Structure 1
């Protein structure tokens, strides 16, 4: 078992206590241990970040870009080792882990490019001999809290833009999956990031939560995770001038209309629902099917699900990985039990997978449920696992109504050959991401990302939109006449 250090003030440090990191494919033996920092350690991280921000905000944007580009190169150079750790701590397949590692490097490259671009706008001024412009400035020290499901790409998505804009960060990776974030921090450190600009806090949230969230030097918090935790953070900030960017839950729906290419739609829904064992915020978890094709589509869907191969992420044959932890596995199984109690019918799956060596891991069979209603809990509440609920409706209008009948509003897809329905769906689906004849997942680095309603806050991630969160606008008027 490896013993790792964490980054604070430009140094790799430890603490007196440790946290074990387990492989969800086989939880019997820890794969690594990380420092369990204390509240005092967190305060020191903010001390370092405050000093780091003073340096970084004055650093040339061309130098910032150079460092980020070099960090991207190092991530690609180390891709095999990083992907192996993503799989070891999270459980996802090596193919998924390699894709995540490459995309993390893409985020650094993309925002390195943006760092070189203009940072303001020249405006007309009614006053004679006066030139007025706006300029964007970094807001300060930002707390980054990332989840366990995408332990490398989510920190990269959050850190790259805020670093490009000149901010400093205190970064709290998920306790279950810290290794990936430490790889990202090491690449930035080795690329020459000044001391204190990035500080990584590993530890037990219950022990360090107050120190993490209550430090007066926090200018913004960017968080991805559950609605319960996100709302608790939001309430904690209500009387403070701290920006909050939240990427929260989802209950994403895919609509299959009667004129759809049914085999193609089934393949896309299987990929969208069961990639990473459904542990994606954009995963499809509801399918709304036009009644005339319900039976045929459901048959194709179940066949595609039953063709998945459950196993450890290290096995090249695996197409469905374990869930992230025993606690999460048990939560998903409890949701399945409740769905059956409420009248749902299991078409395939529906239980833990304990076959052979899988008995030592966090495996759940890929599951498709029918006979659900709008009042069934599993139709409305996020499960975040390999569970898909299917429901028949009558026509396009009823399908859109079913999609929008949700407290969430992250992603939705429609499968149709009708151009009219495609455009109408894009206009009428009340969510932040809309797909037509493709999966609800897979948005690229330059495309704005984020949901409506309870799926997130108004600040988007990705693309240039994210800079609205990590920068502030100053207006400057210069009179040059006599």
Structure 2
């Protein structure tokens, strides 16, 4: 059934001022329309920001216990509506049912985690050397914050940002990706039902070419949290820095996993295959570079090649599917072009999955591909954001660390080894915001600080208590009591 949804503006679900709508299609079956959302013109944004300014005052003056109760109620509603939300993610974005189920579960956990912070401390008393003086560190919300969220985790990423933003007392305006807006509007319905006051959450759906610039023009805007491409993230930083608007970016990645000669291959190989090809490789933390010590390189090549050939690629609702389609035709063409260019530059295709059934007949599917490459080829440096894994061989750990750091990105890395000394050398030697030992480059929990270095992100972390820093400001207070 098609989901034809409306935007949440000032506590009401409304159409755009024009009749134009954006249609949403199933990437596994591109001729299947799954819903539509309003295509808001920039003239509609003034009402959204005005409502948020009022909502920010209301929500700031709402006690943290009450704010927490709303988030906890939202978590409960998300779990109650799991099946509906999973179906929306599968048909709108293309994830497998298992992947979408995991995303819905994590989303509930985010609201549960931050909802429980309603009972946490927000500030502290401070000693003061002056006589009869009371001093304190007060933590306040920023006001109106804008969240720009991506299509690859269209429910989880909004939750990752909304949780800390709302428990801190901010009003939020959220702009989901144009290809996957339905699930964000469903989440807005849940938060509205959970008890958010009017104006505390507003949703904006529309094409970036029409409203993208206008989103940053309003004086009410105090902060922007963005997840997406590095080029867009840097543009937002440059655009807003002169105004003092706080910017958080979570951008690209070219994540590397290292396998040393002493590694447990029964652990390493399936972990890396899942990290590279689950979610069709469409994760900022996906494993896209594999660095293998030469003593086990031949065996690793063989095991990963076998695993790639055995992956089941099919529409997301297919039982037993390991990988669904990529999100749209443009992504499909871009990924295939990366593979073609790698071949033309001398990369060896070690294994390529043979698509069959529905995946071979229609839809935006890309065959999972495993290549032997060299660091001077484009595939080594460029983010593909698809089911493509490139492998190189090294002699030593020092070489491996040097190659991990040979990237403009610094999001996530991992090493597989039984040697504790090698593990710690790697831990301290790599220039990535996330480091794993005998774990994937993907898969961080909700309470773990998340974010990369270099061109992968800003200095503000997401998740955990660290996430609150971006959405709050500190006010120092001193009061002479007599």
What range is the shorter-chain TM-score in? Answer: over 0.9
CA distance in 2, matches of 1:441, 1:145: 22
**Partner residue in 1 for 2:185:** 182
Aligned to 1:222: 225
CA distance in 2, matches of 1:355, 1:388: 24
- Aligned-residue offset at 1:210: 2.2
Once the two structures are superposed, what CA deviation does each residue of 1:176-195 show, in whole Å capped at 9, x if it has no partner?
00111112111100011001
Contact 2:314/2:358 (8 A) holds in 1: no
Identify which of 267, 287, 293 aligns with 2:296.
293
Residue 359 of structure 1 aligns with which residue? 361
Q: 1:441 aligned to 2:442?
A: yes
Q: Which is further off, 298-307 or 126-135?
A: 126-135
Corresponding position of 1:53: 56
Q: Which runs of no fewer than 5 residues in structure 2 stay unpaired?
A: none
CA distance in 2, matches of 1:466, 1:3: 33
Secondary structure of 1:42 counterpart:
helix
Partners of 1:354 and 1:364 lie apart in 2 by 11
Q: Secondary structure at the match of 2:325?
A: coil
Tell me the distance in 2 between the aligned counterparts of 1:166 and 1:356: 47
Deviation, structure 1 residue 277:
0.6
Structure 1, residues 20-73: CA drift from partner, whole Å, max 9, x if none?
Answer: 101100101211111101111112110110111111100011111111111110
Name the structure 2 match of 1:391: 392
For 1:252 and 1:397, locate their aligned partners in 2 and report how far apart those are by CA, in whole Å: 17
Equivalent residues of 1:272, 1:439 under 8 A apart: yes
TM-score by length of 1: 0.98
Aligned equivalent of 2:401:
400
Structure 1: state its 5+ residue gaps: none
Corresponding residue to 1:69 among 65, 69, 72: 72
1:92-103 aligned at under 5 Å gives the runs 92-103=95-106
Counterparts of 1:299 and 1:358 in 2: how far apart (Å)?
25
1:11 corresponds in structure 2 to 12
In 1: Cα distance, 2:362 partner to 2:356 partner: 8
Distance 2:358 2:188 in 1: 37
Work out whether residues 43 and 211 of structure 1, in 8 Å CA contact, stay in contact via their aligned partners in 2.
Answer: no
Deviation at 1:356, TM superposition (A): 4.6
Q: Give 3-state SS (helix, strand or coil) of 2:173's partner.
A: strand
**CA distance in structure 2 between the partners assigned to 1:214 and 1:155 by the alignment:** 22
Whether contact under 8 Å (1:448, 1:461) holds in the other structure is yes
Deviations 1:371-394 (A, max 9, x none): x22121111110000000000011
**C-alpha RMSD over aligned residues:** 1.2
Partner of 2:274: 271
Query: C-alpha offsets along residues 407-454 of structure 1, whole Å, 9 cap, x if unaligned?
Result: 100000000000111111111111011111111111111110000000
The CA distance in 2 between the partners of 1:318 and 1:172, in whole Å, is 30
User: 1:260 — aligned with what?
Assistant: 263
How much has 1:129 moved relative to structure 2? 2.2
TM-aligned CA deviation for residue 354 of structure 1 = 6.9
1:417 aligns with 2:421: no
In 1, the alpha carbon distance for the partners of 2:159 and 2:199 equals: 17
Q: Which residue of 2 aligns with 1:475?
A: 476
**1:12: how far off?**
0.6
User: Residue by residue, what CA displacement relative to the aligned partner does 1:154-183 show, whole Å, maximum 9, x if unpaired?
Assistant: 000001100000000110000000111112
Tell me the equivalent position of 2:83. 80
Q: Is the 8 A contact 1:144 1:170 kept in 2?
A: yes
Match of 1:127 in 2: 130
The answer as to 2:248 corresponding to 1:245 is yes
Q: Distance in 1 between matches of 2:113 and 2:123?
A: 19
For normalisation by structure 2, the TM-score amounts to 0.98
